[in-house]
Every structure is written in C-alpha cells, then in structure tokens.
A = this chain, B = another copy of it.
Amino acid sequence: MRQSKLFTKTTKTISSDMKAVSHKFLHQAGFIRESVAGRYYFLPLGIIVRDKIQKIIEIEMNMAGAIKMITPVLHPIELWEETNRTNSVGFELMKVKDRNGSEFALGGTAEEMVIDLVRKFNLSYKDLPFNIYQFSQKFRDELRARGGLLRVREFMMKDAYSFHVDAEDFQNEYKKMQDTYKRIFDYVHLKTFMIESDGGYIGGDYCHEFVMESKIGESRFFISEDESYVAQEDVAKFKKENKNTNEEEKDIQEVKAKRGNTMEDGVKFHKLPLWQQIKDVMFVDEKERIILAIIRGDLDVNECKLKKIINSNKIRHATDKEIRELGSEPGFISPIGMKKGVMIVADDSLRTIKNAYGGANKKDTDLLNINIDRDYKPNIEGDIAMASDGCIAENGKKLIEKNGIEVGHVFQLGYHYSKKMKGANFTDKDGKEKPFYMGCYGIGLDRTMATIVEAHHDDKGIIWPEEVAPFKVHLISLNKVEVADKIYNDLVKNNIEVLYDDREGSAGEKFADADLIGCPYRLVVSEKTLKEDSVELKKRSEEKCELVKIDQIVKLLNS
C-alpha cells in the first residue's frame, strides 16, 4: 500500500487520558481513532492487524474441530429472561426496542442465542459433542471506558460454545480449548498465564483466564514462587495457619469497651493481637437477604468469594441504620445473639483461633473469649478471604501478587444454562432427554491487539511481531522515487506485504513514522545506498542496519 493513499496520518498529539502505551501508539500511528469514549474506528492499518488476529484464531479453532457460524447481534430479551441474566448482568446490558415493541439485548455473550438455536434441532447423543464459534461485535455498557482498546464498550469477540453429553466429554474439549488458546497466544507473541478465575455473570463452576502480566492490567492475580499455582484474586486459595487452637476455651466475658469502631481501636484497647479479633461485615444482597460475613481480624473479606458461596449476583454494605435496625451497632457487630434470619457466613480462618474477641451488638461493649461452635454457629462456612502478597499457597510456596491483562477466558458452564432453558436437551442412548453439558470460550480481538502492543514496543513506537504486523516491510523512498517504485512493485509482485512511504517529506519524519507504525523490516532507498546498487535494511527490533543489493531484497525477505 502506498502511504500517500492513506488518509489517516500519524500524529504527535495525544490527549491526557492516553496513559496506556497501546492506547497512545495505536492512536498516534493511525491504527485506531476514537468515535466517542470506548467506541473505536479501526483505521486501514488497524483493520489489517485485527483481521490477521482473526485469521489466526479462525485457523486454530478450525484445527481444533470447532465450527464457525454467526448469531444475530440483537438477542430477543425473552431469552435472557429465561436464564435470569437480565438481572445478573445488570447495567452492562444494553437494551433496545423495535417499532413493533419487541425488546432486544445487544449481544454481550451469546449463550442463550446458541442454545436457542441448538434446541430448534432435535439432537441426540450421536450429534454430540460439537463446538460452534463466531466472530461478532459485542456490546458492554461499561461505566467507564479506558485504556484505548483495553476496556471498550464495543468490540469484536470470538466466542465459542461447546455441547456435550456429560462432564467427562466436556473435559476433553476444555483441555483442547486451553491448548488451542495457548497456541493462539504463542502465535501472536503474547506470553500468557492460564489462571484459575471467577466466571462473573457467565456462570458455571470454574474457569480459566489467559492473562499477560502487565502493571496496567486490571486482573489482579497471585502466582506461587515456583509458578506451579496461579489464580485470580477472587479465587486464589492460601493457607490459613493455625494460631492458637491448642489453647483451652475460656469463659466468654462481656466488657465495656470505650473505643472507636476500627479494628485497630480494638487491638489497642484490649492489647490482643489483630488475628484474635473477629471482623464482622454486614451485607445486603439483590434479594434483600442480610448477610453477616465474619473472618479472622488480620484477613479481609473477598466479596466475589462471598457472593459465590451465598449464590448472590450483587451485594452491598449494610448502612449504619440497617445495622441498628437489626438490634446491633456499627463497629460492635457480633455473630453472637445476631437476629434470626441474618445469614452468618464464616471464613474458615475462624477455625484457626480460639478465645477470640469482638463486638457484642451494643455500643461500647465487647466480648472476650468467643469460640466457634460453642458461642455461635455459622450458617455457612468456607473460604471468603482475600489473598495478599506474601501469603502462603497450599503447596507451601509464597504467593506473589501481580497484575495482568485478560485476553482470553475459558469457562465450564455445565448445566448452568441448559437446565434453565426449556428444551435444551438431547436424547441419550437410553432414550431419555438430558440437558446439554456445556462450556464456552472467548477471546477479545481488540484487547488482544492492544496487549500485543503493550508487550512489543519501545519508546519510539510499536514493534509488531511479523505474524500480526500490518505489513512486513516499510519501504521508504528518500527522493529516489523511480527506483523505489520499482522495488515496491517487485515486492508486491512477490506477495511481500509492503507499506511504501512515497510521500514528500524529510528522512527524519519518515523514519519516525516507520518506528511509530512498527513494521518488522524497514527498507530505505537513498542516493547514498544506490551508489552501491543497494538499499538499507533494518529490523524494527534491532539497531543495526545493513546494505542489501537490490536484486537480493525479495530473496532475503522471503527467506
């Protein structure tokens, strides 16, 4: 392509919100342009890169036996109501009515749509398993879009959905998709961790994110020193070491405690360690249930783990007023004597301490020597604790906290959708109707593109890996147009992708543009090099240049 034909020029100007490197360079080099916040044009250079990423994914998915198809963008809202996702997705879902009054969701993910399609056919066990996928524009009504293509409101996603007779058959596909994703991300030169994760509103019992480590990433995860365990913060498990369980249980005791209502106040007042305190946090969920989460004083509640254990979509902190209406007191909440109907959820760390201390459900009053089972009985016990940097993984290794960018996600869905949607069944060998066992698998193409830039750049611009580069070669003519034209035509004839800077302009400007755009090879045609019948060849990723005879260019670049 001739650069003179590219109306989208490079620019030095950036706006103050362009903090991510990928945002800055993709904008400056002319790959993308914002329409309004979170919605982007893919300019001619940008669509070439995204198409290449798409092609790589398509080939790998086909090789894994998945079958391409496509659903409409507008999903009848009735389908989302069937699975109750209109509630669980909440504000992120965009809805639109047509002139006949029918309501639609703008597709975010397409579980309901593919199930609605599949149930139109009367399938039997013989038709299973299969995995269908699509590339289509997805919509998320994010409150704040940021980071350029890293968090957008509209984007191209590859989403795949697999259908199985049972969990065992699904496991094969889950493993195959994990391997496929690893190959895809290797191929586009992204070093990713596959980490245990939380499924959010997708549902299902377990899932894995593919995450590239990055300080600007919004995925917080923990990795054990030996890298054998990696998990997203909302599922990360860690050892809760025994504290004092060999102590004798002492008699419970109510004491006046003139203090503030922070944890530290309690520690200072009673001169007891933080870990011996019980931390009480009161929540209200979307069904108006009241939940008292309790945990060892040196730990924090992870709200995502809590939601999962109590099966809620949304929770919020109770107000002081609500706490008092329960007959308790902010800062002095206690599971002991808590009003009936409040669901007490205890972190299993409370099994590591004895003779704990904490509030007494009345102002300026604490209890000492609280013991689980004897003094209070949780409704639910389990892991609701937040991991933190330096805590110990179950394999005994230290956990390190990291940030990363999520580029792919594979989900076990199990029967999560098929049991909610009527007729999402197949006929098994025994003649009985059984629900599909399912999985789903997503890659955001736009974010993948941005993440490649986050991984491959220097301070001058992007350094595209050849597999996804807009062009292999950036050919620059310094006023030797005829020779450059000839080289350009030669390259095109030999199917070498080339961006030809045939514009007027200084060498400095042209070199700066080439560095910014980031094609893997730069060829410069100038009077100096032509004296030796040569052009100057430089790899974007290296500093050194070499002279290449004109008649050797094609051979060299094709090797």
Contacts and interface: CB of A to CB of B under 8 A. Distances in A.
A63 interface: no
Contacts of A139: 73-74
B117 A41 contact: yes
Given A73-B73, A116-B35, A5 B96 contact: no
Contacts of A100: 143
Chain A interface size range = 35 or more
Given A36-B102, A121-B8, A154-B74, A69 B46 contact: yes
A208 to B, nearest CB: 26
A33 interface: yes
Contact of A72 (B39, B67, B69, B71): B39
Nearest to A113: B35
A141 B65 contact: no
Nearest to A68: B47
Contacts of A113: 35, 41
A132 interface: yes
A-side interface mostly: mixed
A268 interface: no
Contacts of A96: 94-96, 106
A12 to B, nearest CB: 13
Interface in A93-148: 94-96, 98-100, 102, 106, 113, 116-118, 120-121, 123, 126-127, 130, 132, 136-137, 139, 141, 143
A44 B7 contact: no
Most buried by B among A73, A123, A143: A73
Interface in A30-81: 33, 35-36, 39-44, 46-48, 65, 67-76
Most buried by B among A7, A46, A154: A7
A149 to B, nearest CB: 12
B7 A123 contact: yes
Interface in A2-43: 4-9, 33, 35-36, 39-43
A119 to B, nearest CB: 11
A472 interface: no
A457 interface: no
A91 interface: yes
Contacts of A73: 73, 137, 139, 154
A81 to B, nearest CB: 14
A6 B67 contact: yes
A33 B127 CA distance: 18
Contacts of A6: 67
Contacts of A7: 118, 121, 123, 127, 130, 132, 163
A354 interface: no
B33 A120 contact: yes
B40 A67 contact: no
Contacts of A41: 69-72, 113, 117
B36 A76 contact: yes
Contact of A42 (B39, B69, B120): B69
Given A67-B5, A70-B41, A117-B41, A99 B143 contact: yes
A91 B97 CA distance: 12
A305 interface: no
Nearest to A503: B126
A5 B143 contact: no
A474 interface: no
Contacts of A40: 72
A153 interface: yes
A70 B35 CA distance: 11
Most buried by B among A39, A40, A44, A71: A39
A67 B132 CA distance: 31
Nearest to A43: B69
A116 B91 CA distance: 29
A154 B71 CA distance: 11
A5 B43 contact: no
B35 A76 contact: yes
A43 B68 CA distance: 8
Contacts of A70: 41-42, 47
Given A35-B72, A36-B76, A74-B153, 16 more contacts: A7-B118, A35-B116, A39-B72, A41-B70, A41-B72, A44-B67, A44-B69, A44-B132, A47-B68, A48-B68, A73-B137, A91-B99, A96-B96, A96-B106, A98-B141, A98-B153
Interchain residue pairs A-B with the least CB separation, the first 3: A39-B72, A96-B96, A42-B70
